[in-house]
Structure 1
Amino acid sequence: MSMVLAGLVAVAAGPGAEAAGEAGDPARPGPVFRTVTDKSALLSLQTFGRPDGRDMVFRISGSVYTDIPGNAQQPRLSHGRKLFNIEGYNIRRLYRVPGTTQLYQLSREIVFYTDPADPTQIVREWANPIDGRTYPVVPINNDTVNFGPFDVTPSFQGPPLRQLHDETVWSSDIPVRVDYGAALGETFGLVNGVYTAQEMFDFSVDDREVRARTVPGTVPPGAMRTKISWARTSPWAPFMCLAESAVPGRLNYHARAWSLPSYRHLEPWLRAEVEARYPLYTAAPPSPGPSQNSWTSFHAKQLRGGATTWTDWCAASGKTS
């Protein structure tokens, strides 16, 4: 989930200007913000997207480590080894179903695996130390990642908040279990064909920002200055061609994210890579639709929706040194 942010904003846009914008765009989410009174709800909604409905970004930066019970793959692949840095972003917007109080979060996310010693150096190939073959590295490229609808009425409530020094914080811990063998007809080498993971998020917002952006009856402007800590424990990534059922172990992702007002606030090196290879990820989706994650994205793009199998992809894609 970074970078230079615009200064703190202390006032909301005038009601006349906002109303004119809403009349021109019935999907604009602003009207529902005026009705919400719960502080936590106002804060959490602003992590989903900007109240004006324009694109915002969560810049993501972190690392990926091996998690191998009993260090059982030593010496070829040791426990706690840093395999990659990760650098990328989620670009998102809030969408209101016209004429309703229902909101969707619409997003796309692109995250590159980069060199463990140089976060700006994108890794194109990975040498698998277990089978001795080299595989193309497939970035996290999920089109789309959507949530909702949320019915944002005046009684809408957010998560429990805590005060830590001069920041307001909250958490979201998500256990994930998906039977890909049943859902996709593809096991990816997972134990019983079932994907299990744990996603853990911590959000924090400076108290000055909280006060400026939780005034009842107003529509906060722009993107809220937010920091996120993210951790995920999950199976080997599909491109690594390591079957969890045969090579016990997992990956630990540990990253931080921070909000940016728009795509243009990303670093030039990251924008250059996206525009050259993944131009779809320069904007959030325009309307609701189905979601992807790293595994369903790999199935759709690399396995062509099941036209080939994960085992066959690995056999065809791996190179022997």
Structure 2
Amino acid sequence: MKAHLKFAGLATIASLFVAANSAQARELDPSDPTDAVEIMKRTQCGEADNVPAVYHWSGRGYSRVRGEPDSLLFKLQGMNVRQCITVEDAERGKGYRMVSREVMFYVDPETNEILRTWDNPWTGETTNVMHVANDPVNSRASYPYSADGKPYALPNFRQQDDWLFMPFEAPLFYHNVLAGDYQDYVGNKYHAMEIFDFTMRASEVLDSENSTAYPAIAWVRVSDWLPWMKMRGRQGQMVFNATGAKLKSYDDLPAIIKDEIALNYPIYNAPPPVDDSRKNETTWTVFKKMIDEQRAKEKGEEKAGGGH
């Protein structure tokens, strides 16, 4: 009898513990600014502060030239490694900041090998391929309320059954570091459109007991020719289309990415430190630095050789 009473007592305690935890668990409300920030943090970040998260995507890059059929130029294999940290503000509330770095490799569509050089079908010239290697790609802190008190809202957020969709477009039109100082008058500004479409399970991301979520992502980019293609102002543009997802760990990346990172981009297996305050990089800023360094080196060699 005593054993039965003891068992009954333990069962009662266990049921009370489960009931207490269930009472604490709730479904996040996307219309609430605080919960909206938490939903976005789960979409973007790892399981906790200072714990890395990795996104992977793969797809194709096409040319689009007036009067010509679109042409597949190369396949794409990319990843972004990031981490977040909680930030708090007395007026704006509790939010987060994300730091990251990313690579994207251009892959031969026939051999599925990472390209080192590329034969330009329009100019007949062979150019060296400069893969995407942007460090850092950081974001500003996100809070439930802006500095002027405006509540945070998820971009184009909608739910259909257990699926949550969060698409947003980033129209880009700003100073091109590879062009001159008179872009407002003669053009050549950096002009692109990036489209991100996140898809996730509501039962995962809205459950307050989950620390993060693992969405799928689609990425589309329409932009000018890449600078390393050396197109000399030729009419046309690039169209990229890729899909992917947040991964459970860095080890889940395809071998083609991990091998290339280990060989040529070793720092890209981990995110920048959370206090990173450097200016963000793009293909255009990285390419400019590379060309400037090459020219400075050539000028130094010419000077050392006496101009002969």
Instruction: Quickly name the TM-score band, shorter chain normalised.
Output: 0.7 to 0.9
Pair 1:297 & 2:286 matched: yes
Which of 42, 48, 61 pairs up with 2:44?
48
- Contact kept? 1:233, 1:252, Cα under 8 Å: yes
Pair 1:209 & 2:204 matched: yes
Pair 1:93 & 2:83 matched: yes
- Residue of structure 1 in register with 2:8 after alignment: none
| Other structure's SS at 2:231 match | coil
| Other structure's SS at 1:197 match | strand
- Residue of structure 2 in register with 1:106 after alignment: 99
Cα distance 1:165–1:252, how it changes in 2: closer, same or farther (>3 A)? farther
Pair 1:194 & 2:189 matched: yes
Whole-angstrom CA distance in 1 between matches of 2:172 and 2:52 = 27
Letter in 2 for 1:95: I
State the TM-score, normalized to the length of structure 2: 0.74
Structure 2 residues without counterparts, runs of 5 or longer: 1-20, 22-31, 300-308
- Residue of structure 2 in register with 1:32 after alignment: none
Q: CA RMSD in A?
A: 3.0
Structure 1 residues without counterparts, runs of 5 or longer: 1-13, 15-35, 72-78, 313-321
Instruction: Give deviations 1:24-65, integer Å, cap 9, x for gaps.
Output: xxxxxxxxxxxx765543322222212502111110101000
Offset at 1:241?
Answer: 0.4
Pair 1:61 & 2:58 matched: yes
Whole-angstrom CA distance in 2 between matches of 1:153 and 1:288 = 23
- Residue of structure 2 in register with 1:116 after alignment: 109
- The equivalences for 1:222-233 within 5 A come to 223-233=212-222
- Contact kept? 1:106, 1:145, Cα under 8 Å: yes
- Residue of structure 2 in register with 1:178 after alignment: 174
Identity of paired residues, percent? 27
- Contact kept? 1:228, 1:258, Cα under 8 Å: yes
Whole-angstrom CA distance in 2 between matches of 1:167 and 1:308 = 54
- Contact kept? 1:62, 1:85, Cα under 8 Å: yes
- Contact kept? 2:79, 2:103, Cα under 8 Å: yes
Instruction: Give deviations 1:119-151, integer Å, cap 9, x for gaps.
Output: 4x1111100122211011111110010110223
- The equivalences for 1:4-43 within 5 A come to 39-43=35-39
Offset at 1:306?
Answer: 7.9
- Contact kept? 2:36, 2:144, Cα under 8 Å: no
| Other structure's SS at 1:272 match | helix
Offset at 1:211?
Answer: 3.7
Total equivalences in the alignment: 257
Letter in 2 for 1:297: V
Whole-angstrom CA distance in 1 between matches of 2:34 and 2:260 = 40
Whole-angstrom CA distance in 2 between matches of 1:306 and 1:96 = 43
Letter in 1 for 2:240: Y
Instruction: Give deviations 1:68-123, integer Å, cap 9, x for gaps.
Output: 1222xxxxxxx31100000020111112358874532101000100011354x111
- The equivalences for 1:227-246 within 5 A come to 227-243=216-232, 245=233
- Residue of structure 2 in register with 1:141 after alignment: 133
State the TM-score, normalized to the length of structure 1: 0.71
- Residue of structure 2 in register with 1:284 after alignment: 271
- Contact kept? 1:199, 1:233, Cα under 8 Å: yes
- Residue of structure 2 in register with 1:25 after alignment: none
- Residue of structure 2 in register with 1:256 after alignment: 243
Cα distance 1:295–1:205, how it changes in 2: closer, same or farther (>3 A)? same
- Contact kept? 1:40, 1:160, Cα under 8 Å: no
Letter in 2 for 1:122: I
Deviates more, 1:92-101 or 1:155-164: 92-101
Whole-angstrom CA distance in 2 between matches of 1:163 and 1:234 = 31
